[in-house]
A and B are shown apart, each in its own frame.
Chain A
Amino acid sequence: MTRWRISVDKSLCIGSAMCVAIAADRFVLDERQRSGPVEAEIDPDELVRDAAASCPSEAIGLVDADTGQRIDLD
């Protein structure tokens, strides 16, 4: 079973809260309104793919946890 690894580059994050609005269980904002994953490794979840594709600052990285290959965001 494929697993996905989520990362958020906090230096790119602009605090739009797009990801927490799309996938409330998967992302959480810190006190500076910067996002991070609730769990870094998850089973594939289309809402996480949507959040990564919708991020206005392309701050969300999504890769196959085993191979490190980028997950297609389309």
Chain B
Amino acid sequence: MESPAQIPVLQARGLVKRYGNVTALDGTDFDLLPGEILAVIGDNGAGKSSLIKALSGATIPDEGQIFLDGKQVHFRSPLDARKQGIETVYQDLAVAPALAIADNLFLGRELRRPGVLGSVFRMLDKKRMLTEASSHMQDLKIGIRSMRQAVETLSGGQRQGVAVARSAAFARHVVIMDEPTAALGVKESGMVLDLIRRVREKGLPVILISHNMPHVFEVADRVHIQRLGRRVAVVRPHNFSMSDAVAIMTGAMAGEEVTNN
């Protein structure tokens, strides 16, 4: 993982995003390496969410380039990014609570029956969706027995599990998770952190946006610190203290001196 020749899976150079007089991104860079969990932290207004929106196609940056596997890409919508294999788990849990787990996993990507039943009558292949949903959930060791269960019957952590499983099932390059533990209790947060590790074990790099420093330092391989619209430091949690990271984040400590670790 330390080899310097690694090509970043997702890379950004000099991203600028302005909203009227406000400069949300001021020429920020970004690098996500293969197979890592990269946390993005920063104070409110540091440009965290603008950065993530640019990387997931939710906004179009005014300047700068984004590269996926070394090739430049231009995302005009989240759908564009998704087609390129970048999946996002949204903070407010983008699930339909009354629908079954299997329906949620395949929402917008339903499988149709083979032959005339599927092509002419547009019939769903419910059986295949149920079995595939169940295998995706088992991949992440989420122990739910019936994929027919409505999502609203699940606990908060299990619901997050459904959202993560959906992203992990369809992502080919990157999974982005926006504050996945924000709404959860201690025990359930622990489960979601385990889930994030399992996504990495599947070989998918993860971008984790979080306010929760202990969570970030528990799972991240590297931490990208954003401040005033720029990347001010990238640190490794195992040789860096949480309080120093917070100091960089708030500007109490300069970032440049620790960037090349």
Q: Do A and B bind each other?
A: no
